[in-house]
């Protein structure tokens, strides 16, 4: 069964203090690994899709990387507005539709 | 492109009542998904449409749940005889059909909160 484990569950950073969030996964062949940001009471906001080991994508202060077993979301010099829950999801390879399987997220709080 | 739109955003209902949520996907997205999310958890897959055809349903989708997508445009999710355990946020998402994996982007709406009292 496809599984996603995110760590830590919660992370508190000072503004400017860089860190990384981890997403470990087991999947029967990976079609894509997705990162989303979710603010309280709102739907997930798409950040990145990664497809193969070694791939990296960047957006502002965020950089996502992928290996065969895990993905990291690196946050460089975070600002208070980066505070949110970050969700990781995997989509298995195969014919036809494959659902997203999500982790429980990492709640990030950035203090000024 | 106005994003995935969901209505209503919030619904409080008494146990045993029926509720219906509507989702308007991003225009020209022919794939539409429903997920459910409870506090502290990640979204869980409920069902999937490609155009008007419902191609996949989760075991989470009991007989009290029904989803439709007439004409392959908007979709509705109806919950009959609501129970307190149905309280959750119901998320709709859409994506284009792409031959290439690089086009695999799935966008979520803001969600519809259901509280069953």
Query: pLDDT tens digits, chain A, 112 residues: what are they?
Result: 889 999 999 999 999 999 999 999 999 889 899 999 999 999 999 999 999 999 999 999 999 999 999 999 999 999 999 999 999 999 988 766 778 999 999 999 999 9
Q: Determine what percent of chain B falls in helix, strand and coil, rounding each to the nearest 5.
A: 10, 50, 45
Of B6, B42, B48, the CB nearest to A103: B42
Closest CA to A49 of A95, A88, A9, A102: A88
The percent of residues in chain B predicted with pLDDT above 90, rounded, is 78
User: What is the dihedral angle through the alpha carbons of A14, A20, A21, A24, rounded to the nearest 10 degrees?
Assistant: -160
Yes or no, beta carbons of B48 and A32 under 8 Å apart: no
pLDDT of residue B98: 62
CA distance A106 to A108: 6
Structure tokens at A70: 């895990």
B104: pLDDT confidence band, cut at 50, 70 and 90? low
Q: Name chain A contacts of B56, Cβ cutoff 8 Å.
A: 97, 99
CA distance A14 to A110: 5
pLDDT of residue B99: 45
HSE value, Cβ hemisphere, 13 Å, CA-based, for B95: 21
User: What are A's interface residues with B at a Cβ cutoff of 8 A?
Assistant: 4, 31-32, 34, 36, 41-46, 49, 51, 87, 89, 91, 96-97, 99-105
Contact A9, A107 (CB under 8 A): yes
Give the pLDDT confidence of B68-102 residue by residue, as tens digits.
999 889 999 999 999 999 999 999 999 987 644 55
Say yes or no: B74 contacts chain A, CB-CB below 8 A: no
């Amino acid at each position: 069964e496809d599984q996603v484990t995110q760590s830590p569950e919660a992370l508190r950073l000072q503004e400017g203090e860089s860190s990384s969030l981890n997403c470990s996964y087991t999947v029967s062949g990976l079609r894509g690994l997705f990162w989303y940001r979710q603010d309280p009471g709102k739907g997930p906001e798409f950040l990145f899709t990664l497809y193969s080991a070694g791939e990296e994508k960047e957006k502002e202060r965020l950089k996502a990387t992928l290996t065969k077993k895990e993905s990291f979301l690196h946050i460089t010099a975070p600002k208070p507005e980066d505070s949110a829950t970050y969700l990781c999801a995997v989509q298995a390879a195969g014919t036809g539709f494959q659902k997203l399987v999500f982790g429980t997220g990492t709640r990030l709080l950035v203090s000024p | 492109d106005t994003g995935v739109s969901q209505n209503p955003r919030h619904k409080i209902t008494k146990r045993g009542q029926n509720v219906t949520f509507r989702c308007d996907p991003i225009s020209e997205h022919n794939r539409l998904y429903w997920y459910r999310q409870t506090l502290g958890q990640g979204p869980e897959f409920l069902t999937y449409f490609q155009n008007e055809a419902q191609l996949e349903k989760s075991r989470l989708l009991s007989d009290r749940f029904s989803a439709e997508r007439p004409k392959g445009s908007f979709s509705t999710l109806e919950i009959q005889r609501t129970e307190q355990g149905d309280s959750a946020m119901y998320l709709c998402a859409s994506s284009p059909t792409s031959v290439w994996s690089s086009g695999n982007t799935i966008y979520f709406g803001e969600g519809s909160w259901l509280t069953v009292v």
